């Protein structure tokens, strides 16, 4: 437990940030999973629509600092490549 006033504040801030990061990351994972499900279903239109919804969410998560900018770029690149090939993750 924190002993100083500033350490208590740090603890409060860390809890809020951790929850915010978890919320952002969870939302990102949800949209990525929707793309995955569309790929497994074999629905090209649905996969492309899901990808168009996922790309801004992934970049937004990086902008908020929850994930690294290059991690976001890598995720978008790999998802886009898979949707273009219409291949589910094996």
Q: Is residue 12 part of a domain?
A: yes
CATH assignment of the domain containing 10? 1.20.58.110
Q: Is residue 90 part of a domain?
A: no
Write the pLDDT tens digit of every residue in 24-70: 999 999 999 999 999 999 889 999 999 999 999 999 999 999 999 99
How many structural domains does the chain have?
1
pTM of the complete model? 0.85
Task: Please name the residues in contact with 37: beta carbons below 8 A apart, sequence gap of 6 or more.
Answer: 50
DSSP code at position 1: -
Q: Is residue 37 part of a domain?
A: yes
> Quick one: pLDDT at residue 27?
97
> Which whole number is the average pLDDT over 14-25?
97
Residue 87 vs residue 48, higher pLDDT: 48
What is the domain range of residue 50? Answer: 5-85
Q: Is residue 33 part of a domain?
A: yes
> Which whole number is the average pLDDT over 6-10?
95
Q: In which residue are the tokens 């002993």 written?
A: 3
Q: Got the DSSP string for 3-51?
A: -SHHHHHHHHHHHHHHHHHHHHHHHHHHHHHHHHHHHHHT-HHHHHHHH
């Amino acid at each position: 437990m924190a002993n100083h006033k500033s350490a208590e504040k740090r603890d409060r801030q860390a809890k809020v940030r951790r929850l915010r990061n978890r919320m952002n990351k969870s939302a990102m994972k949800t949209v990525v999973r929707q793309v995955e499900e569309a790929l497994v279903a074999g629905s090209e239109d649905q996969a492309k629509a899901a990808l168009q919804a996922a790309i801004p969410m992934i970049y937004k998560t990086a902008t908020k600092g929850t994930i690294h900018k290059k991690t976001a770029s890598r995720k978008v690149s790999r998802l886009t490549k898979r949707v273009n090939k219409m291949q589910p993750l094996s």
